[in-house]
Amino acid sequence: MTNEYDAIICGGGPAGSSAALSLARHGRSALVLDRARFPRTKLCGGLLTWKSTRLLATHFGLTPDDLIRAGVVNFVSDRFAIHTFSRTLAKGMLPFPFHFADRAGLDALLLDRAAEAGAVIEQATRVTGCDPKTGEVRCADGRRFRGRYVIGADGANSRVRAAIPTVDRERMHRYMAPAIEIALPPEDFPRPVDFPELYVGFLEAGYGWVFPNRDRVVLGICGLRRNKNDFSALFDEFLAFLGVDPGAVTDRKGHLLPYGNYLSNPAFGRTLLAGDAGGFVEPLFGEGIFYALCTGRYAGEAVADGVKTGTDPGPAYAARLGRYVLPELAASDRLRWLLFKGMGLFGPGGLAWFVGALEKPLAEMVHGMRSYRWLKKKEWDFKAGPTAP
């Protein structure tokens, strides 16, 4: 096995698979290093919006029907509800259904697609550090690899990001939200769940969720806390409100979610960051799968083009993000503070009115058919990058 590649991709989640697929399709050598063995678990509600399903279809060739047939998508719902602990704020129909995916199955399938296209995958290989100047990547087992470029797709606690001196670590830390999630057999939940329910009003910004699934009910909370209150105690309150005995829940798991700390220039030296590693998660609803797929693809295509033309891929990557992704994240961030601060100051009535008055365009905005900027029609760049054959 050689240890020199056009790109070394640290992390084989949606961002890493997407980047690896782009590079392999463009005939570039790509090595994916992941500390886990796939299929591996990933704490996640698995909710896929319209734009996620579009990108999975155009980039990976996987339509919603393919994902259902593969058993990866196991629930589809075209309804939703938003509540506080005391009232229902909105309940309605969606213009396109939410698809609920099992992340272990989805991520394994996407990584297989990258391998079939020609990427080399090394599982159970933990990255311990990298040098942005030389492109050297060090692993816990003592091996070292060298990439012309390194794509950090290694999630919220990225080792690659830790090696980049220009990252504002204070901001990255401040907007890294804790999340707790559990999955219950449907018979252990007090009532049937047929569509996603969101609960707001008990976090500075963020929400609790109850998501349906074929064989389980997924409950979680994620967000920024008022006065740094004990997140586990907040989760207990949420469970008790839903009628679930917190004492009977033994397998609660936590994970960090980037929540408003996206980087506007996620490239330095020979490194580029994609997905959670670059903070690319939508700051209102915490949607990250789409942004991981999208930024992974852009990073892979920028590197493929950079290697072909002998130019630095960083500026091209940043420019494409600046055109299609960052404006959405910035507008969603503004909307989040408007809604959550408004609810804190004036109560939930304003939010109920807002969602009620704009139900259809807001649902289209969440799906990505409309932009978070003034609900304008959103054009995504789902076509292949500049060097596509």
Question: Between 237 and 350, whose beta carbon lies closer to ligand FAD?
Answer: 237
The least CB distance from residue 97 to ligand FAD, in Å, is: 14
For residue 101, give the H/E element and its range. Answer: strand 88-101
Distances (CA, A) of 159 to 19, 67, 164, 278, 323: 17, 31, 9, 11, 27
What sign does the dihedral 141-143-147-149 (CA atoms) show? positive
Distance CA 90, CA 72 (A): 29
The least CB distance from residue 292 to ligand FAD, in Å, is: 3
The least CB distance from residue 384 to ligand FAD, in Å, is: 20
Residues 6+ apart with CB under 8 A from 326: 262, 264
Complete edge-to-edge strand list for the sheet that includes strand 47-48: 47-48, 88-101, 73-83, 197-199, 205-211, 217-224, 176-184, 253-258
Residue type at 312? D
The least CB distance from residue 113 to ligand FAD, in Å, is: 14
Supply 332's token pair: 């969603």
Question: Between 1 and 345, whose beta carbon lies closer to ligand FAD?
Answer: 1
- Residues forming the site for ligand FAD (CB under 6 A): 10-16, 33-36, 42-47, 126-127, 153-155, 159, 179, 181, 220, 222, 255, 257, 275-277, 281, 286-290, 292
The least CB distance from residue 16 to ligand FAD, in Å, is: 6
Question: Between 15 and 316, whose beta carbon lies closer to ligand FAD?
Answer: 15
* Residue 40 backbone dihedrals phi, psi, to 5 degrees: -115, 155
Supply 181's token pair: 């999630």
Please give the residue whose beta carbon sits closest to ligand FAD in the complex: 288
Question: Between 286 and 348, whose beta carbon lies closer to ligand FAD?
Answer: 286
Asked if 258 and 289 count as a contact pair (C-beta separation under 8 A), the reply is: no
Maximum Cα–Cα distance for the chain, whole Å?
62
Distance CA 333, CA 2 (A): 43
Asked if 139 and 260 count as a contact pair (C-beta separation under 8 A), the reply is: no
The least CB distance from residue 121 to ligand FAD, in Å, is: 11
Question: Between 45 and 348, whose beta carbon lies closer to ligand FAD?
Answer: 45
The least CB distance from residue 310 to ligand FAD, in Å, is: 28
Question: Between 283 and 385, whose beta carbon lies closer to ligand FAD?
Answer: 283
Residue type at 199? Y
Question: Between 104 and 352, whose beta carbon lies closer to ligand FAD?
Answer: 104
The least CB distance from residue 275 to ligand FAD, in Å, is: 2
Question: Between 222 and 239, whose beta carbon lies closer to ligand FAD?
Answer: 222
Asked if 87 and 348 count as a contact pair (C-beta separation under 8 A), the reply is: yes
Residue 225 carries which DSSP code?
Answer: P
The least CB distance from residue 347 to ligand FAD, in Å, is: 27
Question: Between 232 and 311, whose beta carbon lies closer to ligand FAD?
Answer: 232
Count of residues making up the chain = 389
Task: Evaluate the omega torsion of the peptide bond into residue 39 and state whether it is cis, within 30 degrees of 0.
Answer: yes
b/e code 21-45 from CB counts within 10 Å (16+ = b) = bbbbbbebbbbbbbbbebebebbbb
The least CB distance from residue 47 to ligand FAD, in Å, is: 3
Asked if 5 and 148 count as a contact pair (C-beta separation under 8 A), the reply is: yes
Distances (CA, A) of 81 to 84, 116, 203, 208, 237: 10, 40, 18, 12, 20
Question: Between 36 and 309, whose beta carbon lies closer to ligand FAD?
Answer: 36
Supply 345's token pair: 């100051």
